[in-house]
A and B are shown apart, each in its own frame.
Chain A
Amino acid sequence: MDHLDALENQSIYVIREAFDRIDKLAMLWSLGKDSNVMIWLTRKAFFGHVPFPCLHIDTGKKFPEMYAFREQYAKEWNLHLLRGECPPVEEIDPSLPPATRSAARKTAGLKAMVEREGFQGLFAGIRRDEEGLRAKERYFSPRGEAGEWDFRDQPPEFWDQFNTDFPPGTHLRIHPLLHWTEIDIWRYTARENIPTIPLYFARDGKRYRSLGDQDITFPVDSEAATIDEIVAELETTKVAERSGRAMDHEAEDSFERLRADGYM
């Protein structure tokens, strides 16, 4: 079994485990490369089906290419799409730095959706290699009643036995891609021929490595116009994946504050 097969099987195991153990489940679909792989793995796990709703938490500020992608593949993949609205930035904690505050809209939109639909488990396509805080995550990560994450006292998780029991009023985040890296995602996307938003491919010397809101996401210098070229670029780059995401860099603890409060 090669490396990509091993990654794939581990993810399928996690997805199936959540599906069996948790009644009200949904998958967060940001439309980005990672969550597209996550949906692909779900279809593998369930032989072509996606047996729970896919949530797009819509800040209303995504790129037009992203909305077009959403409409096309929600239909093509036969997804039960739910769209979550986000509150205006004025309603968000003003003590946060500007881009962080803007990103926190997504957390607020997500909380409202979880409350309304009564979801007990949410799949999120985060990876450990993206960022130091995400590196500490569990596959099954309990969230408090207000959706918050207690990263200082996480339950143990080993031997693929997951914490699937949780007190009423709380929910679980499930992270089937936790063990993947950015380059794994691209190699797998190429191998499986998974559709991708064109913004990832270089135009005029720039491309997006990570997609978010238009006003707080910036392209990086790149000539990589195909997946093969992206993989080749990633094999040598020393630039961090989320370097184009403004909220990560405003203060030493800005991403920590976002995540502790329930951000993906």
Chain B
Amino acid sequence: MTAQPREFLKTVIVGHVDHGKSTLVGRLFFDTGSLPEGKYEAIKAMCERRGMPFEWAFLMDALQAERDQGITIDTAQIWFKTVKRDYVIIDAPGHKEFLKNMVTGAAASDAAVLLIDAEEGVREQSRRHGYLLHLLGVRQVAVVVNKMDLVGHSRDRFEQVERAYNEYLSGIGVTPTYFIPVSARNGDNVATRSTAMDWYDGPTVLEALDHFQVVTQPDDLPLRMPVQDVYKFDQRRIIAGRIETGVIRVGDTLMFSPSNKTARVETIEAWNVPHAPIKARAGQCVGITLDEQVFVERGEVISHEFHAPVESDVFRARLFWLGRKPLEAGNRYKLKLNTLDARVTVQSIEMVIDTGDLSTAPADQVERNAVAELTLRSDRMLALDPFTDAPRTGRFVLVDGHDIAGGGIISMDGYADQRALRTVRATNIQRVEHDVSEQARSRRNGHLGGVLWFTGLSGAGKSTLAVAVEQRLFNLGYQTYVLDGDNVRGGLCADLGFSPEERAENIRRVGEVAALMGRAGMITLTAFISPYRSDRDRARAAAGGDFHEIHVKADVDACEQRDPKGLYKKARAGEIPDFTGTSAPYEAPESPELVVDTVNNDVASCVDLIVDYVRRHMVLDTQKVVGK
């Protein structure tokens, strides 16, 4: 029988340009006897032909263009072996302009070796590469301080570089696995222990590599299998995909997100095997059939019913941008999330992060090779996993034009799971038709029923205005009623707390109640911050056509100055987490029916504006005009 394949580890070598990546690789190869026959001699001959000293780096540089410029443009991959196992070494370019190639190489790796020149110290790409390794999910990092021969093998200099770089890495929550002083050119601490640096007692580069673990797709996380395709080669309808995490067994009930459908696994299909499998695990590309015909398509995420992904049409992300054109707020891109393609809009850019010193700044755009935090909104519901829970599925790329232009990791901080909000649990529902029509009600009242939905920051004046408008409309003979936050919290929503999901449920209930009251003929006024567009859109849908969104507009500074309930003060003191406007987002309406600016207008003129709106939009032309 053929000898079993050995364990195999993928390592990327990164770092600032000229810090000696290709030299280290050349040396590793030579020292482990991995060079093809005649290669050493060929490079030696080539260097002599060009009148230059022997150059280890040429081993990696197969391209003519790269040899001429003496730099690596794209990743190169070469294979070598130690006593323990086989390796592929991915040599990533250190030039800023080739960052997309560094990302390509690093993202595929189990571990990374990051080089820093002992003489030059920590440079721009040393930091940027360290930051990106973290974003890309590479957790095993050996920092190699190279060219120790140029600093007299000085322990002080090594520790200086180690301190400086550790200080940076701790800022992003990274602890490197090893720091190794090396002279790649001379082979010190590469494969053999250096006699020139006997003060160092850690592992050599080769020993460090052998200590790293092969990264596998985890079985013990909740099941995720994005649907890649559906095949119908014969009468079977086979759902194809790769299990990213978890395990599937025949007989399991699967949930499809975001369609919210469920079905049981009938078979796990396989070709050219003696027995049909009854179980498949993470990393396997499988095909399954279901016990009933449910319509599912590429892009849906398969999970079990418990531990399903979050459903939302909006999410936050930390993103690195590689596009030719800057990413701008308001721009639309194609999102590739697992196997799903969807259109997304950049709703806001929260901040751009300087990977050099980790400082952050507000921005309207993200330049090429920069990192930013932003909020993306999709036209459709998405199945999302936060990256911290699910590194395999909690990441995405953006496509600009024809090219992949950026990658990001998902966070749901401050955003609710919308699954429960759109799931109808009751069955056997039959609507009762009223004999009294809405037209009849509005004829008697002299006006239409409907919802005036006030939205705005805390302190913008929603309740003040709603109550004043109610009083005025009542005096004018309108049927009207105010639903206010603190009031519904005492009864209708007394069971709800303040988590993102509970806040969304609170708004859902208010939206449904307001819609019912509107249908009953009332002009229903609601006064809730309702910071999320998706929640307000749901309320709008509940009310049918009779929904009027009123943006009560005042900026955070003005609201904080007013602070009628003392909430901003508490929020700033850290007593209220996720406070809208300071630590949680407020998504202003995109096209509200009415905007009322409470900074530049007094209460009376704001009330006039709203009452005037009601007269123009909620009174039927053919009816007597109330209160004229």
A residues near B, CB below 8 A? 1-6, 9, 12-13, 16-17, 19-20, 43-49, 51, 128-129, 131-133, 135-136, 138, 142, 151-152, 154-159, 161, 163, 165-167, 181, 184, 186-187, 190-192, 227-228, 231-232, 235, 237-240, 252-253, 256
Which of A6, A237, A239 is in CB contact (< 8 Å) with B283? A6
A253 CA / B103 CA spacing, docked (Å): 27
B175 at the interface (CB under 8 A from A): no
A260 CA / B216 CA spacing, docked (Å): 35
Tell me if B229 and A154 are in contact (CB < 8 A): no
Which of B5, B100, B238, B403 is in CB contact (< 8 Å) with A47? B238
Tell me if B283 and A48 are in contact (CB < 8 A): no
A119 CA / B36 CA spacing, docked (Å): 38
Which of A43, A48, A155, A159 is in CB contact (< 8 Å) with B395? A159
Tell me if A165 and B36 are in contact (CB < 8 A): no
Q: Given A155-B100, A158-B104, are A129 and B79 neighbors across the interface (CB < 8 Å)? A: yes
Tell me if A12 and B285 are in contact (CB < 8 A): yes
A159 CA / B136 CA spacing, docked (Å): 9
Interface flags for B1-35 (1: CB within 8 Å of A; 0: not) read 11111111000000000000000000000000001
- Which of A128, A156, A163, A187 has the most B CB atoms < 10 Å from its CB? A156
Tell me if B228 and A20 are in contact (CB < 8 A): yes
Say what secondary structure dominates the interface of chain B.
mixed
Tell me if A240 and B269 are in contact (CB < 8 A): no
18 pairs, CB–CB < 8 Å, chain A vs chain B: A3-B7, A9-B284, A12-B285, A19-B229, A43-B271, A47-B269, A47-B270, A129-B77, A132-B61, A132-B62, A133-B62, A156-B103, A159-B395, A165-B399, A165-B402, A187-B5, A228-B2, A231-B3
Tell me if A131 and B103 are in contact (CB < 8 A): no
Q: What is the minimal beta-carbon distance from B258 to any residue of chain A, in angstroms?
A: 19
Q: Given A1-B281, A20-B298, A163-B403, are A158 and B36 neighbors across the interface (CB < 8 Å)? A: no
Q: Given A3-B7, A158-B407, are A238 and B104 neighbors across the interface (CB < 8 Å)? A: no
* Nearest residue, chain A, Cβ from B34: A238
Please name all residues of chain B whose beta carbon is closer than 8 Å to the beta carbon of A5 when the two chains form the complex.
283-284
Please name all residues of chain B whose beta carbon is closer than 8 Å to the beta carbon of A232 when the two chains form the complex.
3
B272 at the interface (CB under 8 A from A): yes
Q: Given A20-B228, A167-B402, A228-B1, are A158 and B108 neighbors across the interface (CB < 8 Å)? A: yes
A7 CA / B464 CA spacing, docked (Å): 65
B515 at the interface (CB under 8 A from A): no
Closest 8 CB pairs between A and B? A132-B62, A158-B107, A238-B37, A156-B100, A3-B5, A12-B285, A161-B397, A165-B402
Please name all residues of chain B whose beta carbon is closer than 8 Å to the beta carbon of A2 when the two chains form the complex.
4-5
Please name all residues of chain A whose beta carbon is closer than 8 Å to the beta carbon of B46 when the two chains form the complex.
252
Tell me if B283 and A135 are in contact (CB < 8 A): no
* Nearest residue, chain A, Cβ from B230: A20
Tell me if B100 and A136 are in contact (CB < 8 A): no
B65 at the interface (CB under 8 A from A): yes
Tell me if B6 and A3 are in contact (CB < 8 A): yes
Tell me if B79 and A240 are in contact (CB < 8 A): no
Tell me if A163 and B78 are in contact (CB < 8 A): no
Which of B4, B233, B401, B407 is in CB contact (< 8 Å) with A159? B407
Q: Which of B68-76, B480-488, B569-577, B592-600 contacts A (4 or more CB under 8 A)?
A: B68-76
Please name all residues of chain B whose beta carbon is closer than 8 Å to the beta carbon of A156 when the two chains form the complex.
100-101, 103-104, 322, 403-404, 407
Which of B37, B78, B401, B402 is in CB contact (< 8 Å) with A135? B78
Chain B interface bracket (under 10, 10 to 19, 20 to 34, 35 or more): 35 or more
Please name all residues of chain A whose beta carbon is closer than 8 Å to the beta carbon of B271 when the two chains form the complex.
43-44, 47-48
B427 at the interface (CB under 8 A from A): no
Tell me if B2 and A187 are in contact (CB < 8 A): yes
7 further interface pairs, Cβ-Cβ under 8 Å (given A165-B399, A165-B401):
A1-B281, A47-B238, A132-B63, A133-B63, A156-B404, A158-B108, A237-B37
B242 at the interface (CB under 8 A from A): yes
Please name all residues of chain A whose beta carbon is closer than 8 Å to the beta carbon of B79 when the two chains form the complex.
129, 181
Please name all residues of chain B whose beta carbon is closer than 8 Å to the beta carbon of A190 when the two chains form the complex.
2
Tell me if A159 and B107 are in contact (CB < 8 A): yes
B residues near A, CB below 8 A? 1-8, 35-37, 46, 61-65, 73-79, 88, 100-101, 103-104, 107-108, 136, 216, 228-229, 231, 233, 238, 240, 242, 269-272, 281, 283-285, 287, 298, 322, 334, 336, 395-397, 399, 401-404, 407
Q: Given A49-B233, A158-B407, are A239 and B322 neighbors across the interface (CB < 8 Å)? A: no
A253 CA / B285 CA spacing, docked (Å): 39
Tell me if B242 and A9 are in contact (CB < 8 A): yes
Q: What is the minimal beta-carbon distance from B275 to any residue of chain A, in angstroms?
A: 15
Which of B1, B35, B74, B396 is in CB contact (< 8 Å) with A151? B74
Please name all residues of chain A whose beta carbon is closer than 8 Å to the beta carbon of B136 when the two chains form the complex.
158
Tell me if B76 and A1 are in contact (CB < 8 A): no
Tell me if A191 and B104 are in contact (CB < 8 A): no
- Which of A132, A181, A231 has the most B CB atoms < 10 Å from its CB? A132
Tell me if A47 and B231 are in contact (CB < 8 A): yes
Q: What is the minimal beta-carbon distance from A71 to any residue of chain B, in angstroms?
A: 23
Q: What is the minimal beta-carbon distance from A208 to any residue of chain B, in angstroms?
A: 18
Q: What is the minimal beta-carbon distance from A1 to any residue of chain B, in angstroms?
A: 5
Tell me if B65 and A152 are in contact (CB < 8 A): yes
A13 CA / B76 CA spacing, docked (Å): 23
Please name all residues of chain A whose beta carbon is closer than 8 Å to the beta carbon of B272 when the two chains form the complex.
43-44, 48, 192
Q: What is the minimal beta-carbon distance from B107 to any residue of chain A, in angstroms?
A: 3
Please name all residues of chain B whose beta carbon is closer than 8 Å to the beta carbon of A184 when the two chains form the complex.
5
Tell me if B76 and A135 are in contact (CB < 8 A): yes
A164 CA / B141 CA spacing, docked (Å): 32
Q: What is the minimal beta-carbon distance from B403 to any residue of chain A, in angstroms?
A: 5
* Nearest residue, chain A, Cβ from B242: A13
Please name all residues of chain A whose beta carbon is closer than 8 Å to the beta carbon of B73 when the two chains form the complex.
152
Tell me if A239 and B36 are in contact (CB < 8 A): yes
Q: What is the minimal beta-carbon distance from B113 to any residue of chain A, in angstroms?
A: 18
A37 CA / B582 CA spacing, docked (Å): 58
Tell me if A51 and B233 are in contact (CB < 8 A): yes
A44 CA / B104 CA spacing, docked (Å): 28
A237 CA / B79 CA spacing, docked (Å): 13
Tell me if B228 and A17 are in contact (CB < 8 A): yes
Tell me if B242 and A163 are in contact (CB < 8 A): no
A148 CA / B171 CA spacing, docked (Å): 45
Q: What is the minimal beta-carbon distance from B510 to any residue of chain A, in angstroms?
A: 40
A3 CA / B85 CA spacing, docked (Å): 11
Tell me if A136 and B75 are in contact (CB < 8 A): yes
Please name all residues of chain B whose beta carbon is closer than 8 Å to the beta carbon of A47 when the two chains form the complex.
231, 233, 238, 269-271, 287
Please name all residues of chain A whose beta carbon is closer than 8 Å to the beta carbon of B104 when the two chains form the complex.
138, 154, 156-158
